[in-house]
Amino acid sequence: MKFRTLDVVQIGLYLVALVLLTPLVGGFMANVFSGEKHLMKPIFGKLENRVYKVCRIDPSGEMNWKEYTLALLAFNLVGFILVFIFQEMQRYLPINPRHLPAVSWDLAFNTAVSFVTNTNWQSYAGETTMSYFVQMLGLTVQNFLSAATGIVVVLPFIRGIVRKKTDAIGNFWVDVTRTTLYILVPLSVFLAMVLVGEGTVQTLSNYRNVQTLGGQEQVIPVGPAASQIAIKQLGSNGGGFFNMNSTHPFENPTPLTDFLEMLSILLIGSGLVYTYGKMIGSMRQAFVIWSVMMAMFIGMLSVSLYSEWKFHPAYVSTPTMEGKETRFGITNSVIWEVATTSASNGSVNAMHDSMTPLSGLVALVNMMTGEVIFGGVGAGLYGMFHFILLTVFIAGLMVGRTPEYLGKKIETYEVKMAVIGVVAPSAAILILTAIGSVTHAGLSAINNSGPHGFSEILYAFTSAAANNGSAFAGLNTNTVFYNLTQAAGMLIGRYAVIIPILAISGSLARKKSIPPSPGTFPTDTPLFGFLLVGVIIIISALTFFPALALGPVVEHFLMLAGKTF
Amino acid sequence: MKTTILPAIYLTLVMTLLTGLLYPLAMTGIAQLVFPKHANGSLVAVDGRVVGSEFIGQDFRSNKYFWSRPSAILYDPIPSGASDFGPTSDTLKSLVEDRKANFIRLNHLPSHTAVPAEMIYASGSGLDPDISPEAAELQIDRVAKARGFNAEERQKLIDLVESHIESPELGLLGEPRVNVLLLNLAVDAMNVSRK
């Protein structure tokens, strides 16, 4: 197997498509959020108003940051309870042709937390655990709502910058409703239809028993998959309808579906940066952030491609196809791997556990940055805000200027909050991994010996705290220990980032806006971009280098030396 | 508190109805109307008997058939699965060495043959329906021999494999590949027409 022109073409196509679609989607989202006229308003406008009426929501009412946060938490809590109850009641609920029984309590707890926090970690196999009812009314719904939750958190921050001397940072209910109806639903309808046209299943009938050509019995699982997979890709969710996610031929049947699903992973995350620029009235600011994301993405992609094509276990002479699908080959598996871990998507079209150590390292580092390279829908950008504030602060210290960002003074409170937003998930990853690495409950779940086994545990908790949901899937995490510790990681990784950014948004909105002076450190220059990259890399490298050295780094050298475990 | 909890409950229920019921049902309805074959699993039938799905690989062991890739779940889709062995796994090493030796021995290939990577490594889904064109070509002699083909029929088989190669989609996306089930069905049909 050789790296060919075709591979270069596919990488190029992916990047070009992403660049071209970003302003389109980003511009559209800006119109939706600012309540201006847009394409979908005539179609869903009446429905939007009807929703407010039924839910007794006053769409003109504004909230302060605490009310906004409480509304978000309440909304997520109700979602959690519903998904949990649906799983426990599964056998008494309709649309369950396989007569699946209730899900065990710890698994149901883990899954409910997982889907509400936009992590979509799966300790279960969809085709043997979840009824169509749970997949549709439980999981698909949270695919939409957790994505909408992530996206709307960006909006108070924008309002905090644009508005002056006010407590009002928007209305959570309105933001969530608009995001879901105007952005997520239309895109999902489109993608779902293309997926079915290519071969993804979409039916409510039962699985099909067949006798194969070779004379064996085979049960062919089907279900309402396309509708769920579309939003799973677009909303940086990543929880598959089937166990093996987008490696499964019914979830991702052809190279074209693969391309579109892969594009959907980064589409909204990338578009939101454009939306940000449009709404704060400075495309230059947004362009610097977007360029930082793109540059880091290309860097990570290059390392992973190099590793997968160049290195292989000493006992074979070809790049490894373990865990990869023939129709996607190596290059598409790597683009997906880098995209899904940059965004907090977590869907996979190849098994990360079986990739070369340096590719695994790239996936880990992508998640350890807090997933700010495009990132989860909304989550990537608000995670980036934390880093931007830290960078502004550090730059201010270096040159002795009072830190400001877009006319707003950055003071002790904002910096404290930004530090919490960056440190909390990292601390959760390291502490939980440490617990997993020394307890019997943690160690008994690993599938590979040697440094790779440690990588499996590190990956699991990184994925949880980064709300990614992809896995070094060899680790058997459907145990009470992992179901609960993972859930803790997911909750910290979600809300210890969201609450600080909302607090910052509230604080920014209350401040007056000061015009830029010669003392202002400009944040729309390449210099700032470089500083931002530096801060991101230094913070994640300092935090995680020791752990990475024990896992993928040492495994890389052992693999080259021909050592196996 | 009431002003927060009540809208949270109402909005969750309304959205559950819209995105959890209306949306998937509408998609199912349209899919069943416009793409009934694909929506129901792209089932393949021979003489009215369903023998599988075009997209779900099958385990072929007979010498009369082209073989699929190794699978961690032996092509039992309930549930799908991969080996998840890392590159420094001892188990993977011995599996790979065995598969390589077996592929060469059972296909009567010269011992230095480069066996295509997908034939020595298991797929991600465990249900990969495809192999590479090279992997199919290396199996032609074995299949022809097992079916007792003469030179002319062997040539037909070569042409058949050739015609089953799917190029990258739109000439740009993915890898060239051969769907093993569809190829084997075509080989069976060729046998039938011979008789």
What is the tens place of the pLDDT at every residue in A434-459? 999 999 999 999 999 999 999 999 99
Q: Burial code of A317-355, b = ≥16 C-beta within 10 A, e = fewer?
A: ebbbbbbbbbbbbbbbbbbbbbbbbbbbbbbbbbbbbbb
CA distances from B74 to A214, A322, A453, B58, B107 (A): 12, 15, 25, 8, 20
Q: Is B189 on the interface with A (CB under 8 A)?
A: no
Closest CA to B20 of A79, A290, A102: A79
The reply to whether A386 touches chain B by the CB within 8 Å rule is no
- A355 in contact with B, Cβ within 8 Å: yes
Cβ within 8 Å, pair A203-B49: no
B residues 17-36 near A, CB within 8 Å?
18-21, 23-24, 26-28, 30-32, 34-35
B60·A213 Cβ contact <8 A = yes
DSSP 3-state assignment of B135?
helix
Residue numbers of B between 125 and 164 with CB closer than 8 Å to A:
125-132
How many percent of chain B have pLDDT more than 90? 94
Q: What is the mean pLDDT of residues A383-410?
A: 92
Does A518 score more than 90 pLDDT?
Answer: no
B115, B116, B121, B126 alpha-carbon torsion, rounded to 10°: -130
Which residues does chain A have within 8 Å of residue B11's beta carbon, measured at their own beta carbons? Answer: 51, 55, 57, 75, 173, 176-177
The pLDDT value recorded for residue A401 is 81
Per the structure block, which two tokens stand in for A490? 């997911």
Q: Is A257 exposed, middle or buried (0-12, 13-18, 19+ CB in 10 A)?
A: buried
Token reading at A285: 């600011």
Partner-chain contact B12 A259, CB within 8 Å: no
The tens digit of pLDDT for each residue in A471-481 reads: 998 899 999 99
Residue in B with minimal Cα distance to A202: B39
Chain B positions in Cβ-Cβ contact with residue A67 (cut-off 8 Å): 4
Tell me what pLDDT residue A398 has. Answer: 87
Rounded to an integer, what distance in angstroms lies between the CA atom of residue A131 and that of residue A111? 14
CB B75 within 8 A of CB A237: no
What is the per-residue DSSP string for A96-136? -TT---PPPHHHHHHHHHHHHTT----SS-HHHH--HHIII
Query: What would the 3-class secondary structure string for A417-447 be?
Result: HHHHHHHHHHHHHHHHHHHHHHCHHHHCCCC
Picking from A322, A459, A563, A564 by the largest number of B CB atoms within 10 A of its own CB, the best residue to mutate is A322
Mean pLDDT, residues A85-106: 96
Residues 71-130 of B with CB under 8 A from A: 75-90, 92-93, 96-97, 114, 116-118, 120-130
C-alpha torsion sign, points A352, A466, A229, A142: positive
In angstroms, the CA A81 to CA A71 distance is 15
Identify the residue among B2, B9, B12, B119 best suited for mutation to test binding to A, counting A beta carbons within 10 A and taking the highest. Answer: B12
B14, B81, B90 ranked by CB distance to A565: nearest: B90
* Whether A10 contacts chain B with CB within 8 A: yes
Number of CB pairs < 8 Å for A and B?
366
Q: Max Cα separation, chain A? A: 80
Tell me the average pLDDT across A80-100: 96
pLDDT of residue B3: 83
Candidates A9, A127, A213; nearest CB to B184: A213
Residue A78 touches chain B, beta carbons under 8 Å: yes
Helix A329-342 to helix A357-368 angle, to the nearest 10 degrees? 20
> CA A446, CA A496: separation in Å to the nearest integer?
29
Nearest one of A13, A487, A193, A315 to B87, comparing CA atoms? A315
Q: Which residues of B touch A185 (CB under 8 A)?
A: 18-19, 23
Convert the pLDDT of each residue in A315-345 to its tens digit.
998 899 999 999 999 999 999 999 999 999 9
3-state secondary structure A446-493: CCCCCHHHHHHHHHHHHHHHCCCCCCCCCCCCCCHHHHHHHHHHHHHH
Which of the residues A62, A327, A332, A559 would you substitute to probe the B interface, choosing the one with the greatest number of B C-beta atoms within 10 Å?
Answer: A327
Query: Residue A240 and residue B8: Cα distance in Å, rounded?
Result: 27
Using an 8 Å CB-CB cutoff, list chain A residues near B104. none
How does pLDDT run across A356-378, given as a tens digit for each residue?
Answer: 999 999 999 999 999 999 999 99
Are B123 and A247 in contact (CB < 8 Å)? Answer: yes
Q: How high is the pLDDT of residue A473?
A: 86
Beta-carbon count within 10 A of A515 CB: 6
Partners of B53 in the beta sheet?
B43
**DSSP string for A262-326:** HHHHHHHHHHHHHHHHHHHT-HHHHHHHHHHHHHHHHHHHHHHHHHHHH---TT-SS---TT--T
Q: How confident is the model at residue B195 (pLDDT cuts 50, 70, 90)?
A: low
Closest by Cα among A123, A110, A68, A69 to A495: A69
B95-111 confidence digits (pLDDT tens)? 999 999 999 999 999 99
Cβ <8 Å between A204 and B28:
yes
Tell me whether residue A310 is exposed, middle or buried, using C-beta atoms within 10 angstroms of its C-beta: 0 to 12, 13 to 18, 19 or more.
Answer: exposed
Question: Quick one: CA dihedral A135, A95, A55, A52, positive or negative?
Answer: positive
Whole-number average pLDDT of chain A: 96
- pLDDT-derived band at A168 (thresholds 50, 70, 90) equals very high
Chain B residue closest in CA terms to A54: B10
CA distance B175 to chain A (A): 5
Mean pLDDT of A283-295: 97
Distance from CA of A61 to the nearest CA of B (A): 12
Is residue A342 helix, strand or coil?
helix
Parallel, antiparallel, or unpaired for β A217-220 and B49-53?
Answer: unpaired
CB within 8 Å: B11 and A55: yes
Output the pLDDT for position A131. 97
**Cross-chain residue pair A78–B12, CB shorter than 8 Å:** yes
d(CA B29, CA A19) in angstroms, rounded, equals 34
Structure tokens at A342: 């940059």
Interchain contact A64–B (C-beta under 8 A)? no
pLDDT at residue B1 greater than cutoff 90: no
Gap from B68 CA to chain A (nearest CA, Å):
11
DSSP state of A354: G
If you search the block for the tokens 């990869």, which residue do you land on? A324
Q: Write the CA distances from A145 to A71, A180, B27, integer angstroms.
A: 13, 7, 19
ipTM of the complex: 0.96
Residues near A273 by beta carbon (within 8 Å), at least 6 away in sequence: A22, A26, A286, A289, A290, A293, A374, A381
User: Which residues of chain B neighbour A253 with C-beta distances below 8 Å?
Assistant: 42, 55
User: What is the spatial distance between Cα A451 and Cα A555, in angstroms, rounded to a whole number?
Assistant: 6
Tokens representing residue A241 in the block: 């309808």
CA angle A542, A545, A551 (to 5 degrees): 165
pLDDT of B166 above 80: yes
pLDDT, one tens digit per residue, over A200-247 is 999 999 999 999 999 999 999 999 999 999 999 999 999 999 999 999
The arithmetic mean of pLDDT across residues A139-147, rounded, is 97
Closest in A242, A324, A354 to B84, CB measured: A354
Examine the pLDDT at B2 and tell me if it is beyond 80.
no
- Chain A residues within 8 A of B49 when measuring between CB atoms: 211
Arithmetic mean of pLDDT over chain B: 95
Residue B10 has pLDDT above 70, yes or no: yes
Q: What pLDDT does residue A230 have?
A: 98
**Cα–Cα nearest to A275, from A378, A124, A388, A422:** A378
